[in-house]
Structure 1
Amino acid sequence: MNNHIKKMLRITDEHLDLTNTEEYKIKGKNTLVIFGVYSPMPSACRNCGSTIVDNEGKSVVVRNGKKEVTIQLDSYQNMPTILKLKKQRFHCKSCSHNWTAQCSIVEKNCHISKFITLKILELLTEKISMTFIAKQCHVSLTTVLRVLKSVESQLPQQLKPRSFPEVLMVDEFKSHASYEDKMSFICADGETGELVDILPSRKLDKIIPYFNRSPLEEREKVKFLVTDMNAAYFQLTKNVFPTAKLIIDRFHIVKHLNTAFNDFRVREMKRLITNKKKSKANKLKSNWKLLLKNQTNISISEFKTWRSFPSPKYHLLTAL
């Protein structure tokens, strides 16, 4: 039975024995707790190199109790799983050195198993947020960032030039990369919506060198640069995409128009209240959602009564 559970958990270390499994409630969540013992016998002292037994047959390296550690494993059937492992400690009589046996399923001085680290690395290749990855793996966001930084040295130093679509959309979004910039930069294909790339900073001194590493022929393929009203992005057409036309996207135009109209509505309400016309001000206040609603979603054929325009003074009215 012990070997079957080890195979299920993908544990191949022959010195690790599982003794029991229980289900407990930890931090408000039902958690599967597996109990185990790890007791391999070393061939020599890690410090001085003394053998386990000297020439006279006396033990030099002896067992010195056990140390219990908690190792977080990958979820089993969507249930958080931890391993309560008693690791064997050893003592060397020659040099008085003490140490604890190191298990292969976890790195030294770490309580998160290698299985979770591999799962995080796999999820980092998908188009999902790091917050969602942390939630799926039952770890903190800091752990996800630490795993991401651990593979930084394996990335190529010289990135390949990137090709760009004819319609390039650029924008920024709030990210957790506060060590560089609180806002990250994102660009996508304006025709297909396919993601082009994400940069940790939206500052021009980071963006312009990124685009300039591609040859001019590739950058000239961009015919339209779609952006918001951020003045910094206007300089991209001058320095990076000389043949592109700058287009302010419809969303930000409508958003600014709605904001300006709503500000005017609030000012008009205050003016009416000052002129002791509170009933008219209340009409503007109670119907603010209708005033900001898209005209295409307003019915012009449905007649009904309105709270702000009661009968019999007012007849049945449409929303428009």
Structure 2
Amino acid sequence: MQDNYIKVSIALPDFYIKCSEEYNNTIFIRVSPIKQSLKCPKCDSIADRLHDKKEFLVRDIPIHDKAVILVVEKIRLRCACCGHRGIPITIPFLNKYQRKTDRFIEFIAKEVSKTSINEVCKQLELGYQEVKTAFDIYSNKLINEIDDDIKENGIEYFGIDEFALKKGHNYAVALINPLSATNKIIDILDDRTKENLIKYFSQWSINARKKVKFVTMDMWNGYNSSISKMFPNAKIIIDKFHVIKKIGDAFKDVRKSVSKQLDKESKTKLFKDRYLFKKGNENVTDEEYLILIEHFEKSSYLEIAYELKEEFRDIFVLHSKNEAMEAFERWCKRVKDNKIKEFKKVINTVNNWYEQIFNYFDKKLTNGPIEGINNKIKLIKRAGYGFCSCANLKRRIIARFAK
């Protein structure tokens, strides 16, 4: 039963298991090539005479948390027709000079992306340099594959967003393909300056840049100008969640302004209930709505502002661009009529990014998937106990999101 399980678990292409045994919590598995004949590279005859055979040890992925060592038979053949000797039978699961299978290297890399190199060393009983080398081999291979594909062939849609390399320090940029079924990370850039973005996108072929139809981003001029310059056919879409956040921030200013006019008890209660005002109206329970009414009875200004906040959010559930634009114009008029001064900066922001914001209704694309990935990137940073360079962080992120 155990041998059958090992055969299924190992499943090495072109090799069969001769025998296996366990010693000191390590499973040793002897494997040999199935096919022991090759075409002679000199005369094209079939070479099937044994020239020499030797064994060497190769580390493979664990089975039931037990280390696995493959005892691999390396066979070289001799041609009976022309006498050519030393014709090697290739080992498909192993690169030249490697003593770890390709899948074990991948296993190491994915474990490193979840934690630190030192932890993986302890877990697999390997040296630091062994783990680091395996991780670098796998992650660099992934990076090269992504670079070659995207930069040459392009992509119809991608999102761009920044994240802090260190709290309070410089920012890195994540480029994401939310529609990808495999690796969603396109690239990680070490800073978000306009010059750096243009330099990076210049590496993409002209055809690749022409292929891009949509780019989602936040309201930062560096993104807007560099994307506009490098992708002539792309529609820029400002992420709706960044826009909605603006109205939330403005309403917070309303609440603070109203609070200054209340007595101490009402002020304290308004502060304690502040989380209710952050919730969308559709998520407020009947009991919570009664609490809101208590606050509205003390300030009609607060009530009107709350209604306008919800009306602004409702714009982004409309189906067509024209409907949304008309709804926004009506909303602006209500803000002016009711003299909600805190919302004027929201009007200015939307007008400054009018086309890019309402482009959302052409495709209904957002940076939601990117925000989710950015949250995972924060976990990767914490698990790795910080990083000395963006390049190291990039390797971990690429490996973590690889399928």
Q: TM-score, normalised by structure 1?
A: 0.48
Q: Which has the higher contact order (CA 8 A, sep 6+)?
A: 2
- The structure whose residues are more often helix, as a share, is 2
* Max Rg structure: 1
The structure with more strand, counted as a fraction of residues? 1
